[in-house]
Chain A
Amino acid sequence: MSVPGHEARVIPISAAPSYDEPDGPEPMAKALAFLRRRISGDYEVDEFGYDAELTDKVLLELIRPIYHHWFRVETSELKHVPEEGGALIAANHSGTLPVDALMMQVALHDEVGRPLRLLGADLVYQLPVLAHLARKSGHTLACPEDADRLLRKGELVGVFPEGFKGVGKPFSERYRLQRFGRGGFVASAIRAGVPIVPAAIVGAEEIYPKIGELPFLARLLGLPYVPITPFFPLLGPLGLVPLPSKWLIEFGEPIRTDGYDPSDADDPMLVFNLTDHVREVIQQMLSELRLRRGHAFPPFL
């Protein structure tokens, strides 16, 4: 679905990269071949541990119903995402749990046909289960070495420059961008000469409205925060069900960096200014997109 008045490009899901041969065998035989490959270990992962087949056929398949039916995600201005070559997507981060990362991955995978390689906090890679699922679905650690390597390989890299400050901010701060760290993502983009595509995600703020914290428990568990929402921990595990807010994801005009020399990445002034610029663009997109969406929970509110 496209937003009226905007040129949204809708690409059918079948355009996404997949492992089906065009004149492939019967679905049953295909499923068996898939199982045989998985059981015998006869599949490829890239050097970051990205398992494209598992991601497309299993992991994203589990998230797609949530994307389409729970959050009813609508995307716009997908034309700003390059169809090939390295690019860096910078988006706002919110929602207490990083559900926005998953939704953006589905959006780019299914509607642009490109795997999204997110740069995540090191905490992700220390936690059991999350550590290997993050790698298998194509993501890696937020460090300059990994970012540079992915961009050099021409991958579509995603960052949430706000980090924990963004995803863990209280509900009262919603849709207000937090500080953007040191702008390491901008330096990486300059080094690789790839465009920065600003992205605004509206809807994630309302899924777990954080109204308080349990700092003692957070320290005990080694987590950045343990949230209190209207339903968690009050309703126990039931409180972990995200509220079905309406989501919009919009991509902005790419900010080119190929005019700079790669050595400009070491110029802190330039990096800070460009980081500020990206931040302002995203904040503006965010405010407009929020107005366009209206109520978070139509048709109830």
Chain B
Amino acid sequence: MTGPVRLSLGRTRSVCPECLDTIPAERFAVGDTVYLDKTCPAHGRVVTPVWRGLRSYDVWSRSPRATALPVSVKTDIAEGCPRDCGLCADHRQQGCCVLIEVTSRCDLVCPVCFASAGRHGVDMPIDEIGIALDELRSGSGQVHIQLSGGEPTVRDDLPAVVALVRAKGFDFVQLNTNGLRIGREPDYLAALADAGLDCVFLQFDGVSDAVYRQLRGRDLLAAKRLAIASARAAGVGVVLVPTLVPGVNTGEIGAIVDFAKQQMPTVRAVHFQPVSYFGRNPRAPSDEDRITLPEVMEALIEHAGGAIGLEDFRPGSAENPFCSFSGRFAVDRSGRFRSDPEPGTGCCGSQTGNTTGEAGCCEATTWRSPAVARAQRYVAGQWTKAPQEEMPAAGLEAFDAFLEQQSQRLSLSGMAFQDAWTLDLDRLRQCHIHVAKSDGRVIPFCAYNLTDLQGRSLYREPST
């Protein structure tokens, strides 16, 4: 036998990166890498690496699949996935976190941007935000809200927007931001916190200005530090969100974790996002332009020097397992990680779910998905500010030690967004991160941001 052994791992559907037509696709492994292989009748074959690490692929593929029907169906099935989003009756998960793009303006113009935002965008009028929230509440139920953009903090009325989200009955509000304004104006963040902001989802690509210059076009590390200082003063939890680009900041994964430890308990988590090629990334990426989730886990494990292992990370439990990983770790006084295993998050509350493939271990339900509710509780518990320390009290040291240990836990997670090359419609159908449109539709994040090779989008309106 000659040539590498090709191991087929199942069939799915994807899109052609040139025309976005839905086409059959196959997952296969050669060596330690899993690829997505598809051929468009008009534009030819595309093979893209999606997972480099067969050991974790095996673990992730045995993870239970939690599925649920949408709380409400807003669109008819006509052209088929991914062109009917709203959600349609074929979607198989409910919203966990829903993004509202409150502006298309931005005070940075980054080479890497999901949103193709620029300086000359527009704000969504606040009454329109109110309508979108009402639609969301009736159509999706109790979801977490992420205020996104553009850069939301270009709006002076953002505290009123946060207050509106709260007044509409949503329990958790996070702000997706580059951190520039909140760092410069601590009072602005304090006003957001007073209005009910729970968490700052802070774009944080590295610990050296070289990284920011390459990804964002200017030095930003000092601005990031100021943003964290403002969050500390305002009592808001911070999640550091690095966009990982091979050759630019993948060498700083460990250093970002060390930085996060130094900034605890204000910094509660690091949420890595391997770069995806949509928005302002219209060129066809090469295999070397991609880093996959198991490579991020490997870098984290290696950096921890034996303190943590693959068994400390778990697949996404509400979304498709291959969309994410997460682990939560105690940090001891010397700054070293200690594995802090949690009870299993198997579907239906069981510790060990059955592997039943697409159908999942729960019957699809039209009521609130328990897996989504659990994912929301995890985020609300870990990504907000740590519990305040109590004054010491004699005899109660055991309680205090436990509470301090809780505040000294750091969550490390990653989410792999899909682009036109990596899109696997089995994964997309289980997507639980959605974007709210003002007409009441909610679009799964990766469908919303999907662009073809020329940058044309299915759902996103062109930036104005």
A, B: real partners: no
Please give the residue numbers on chain A whose beta carbons come within 8 Å of chain B beta carbons, in ascending order: none
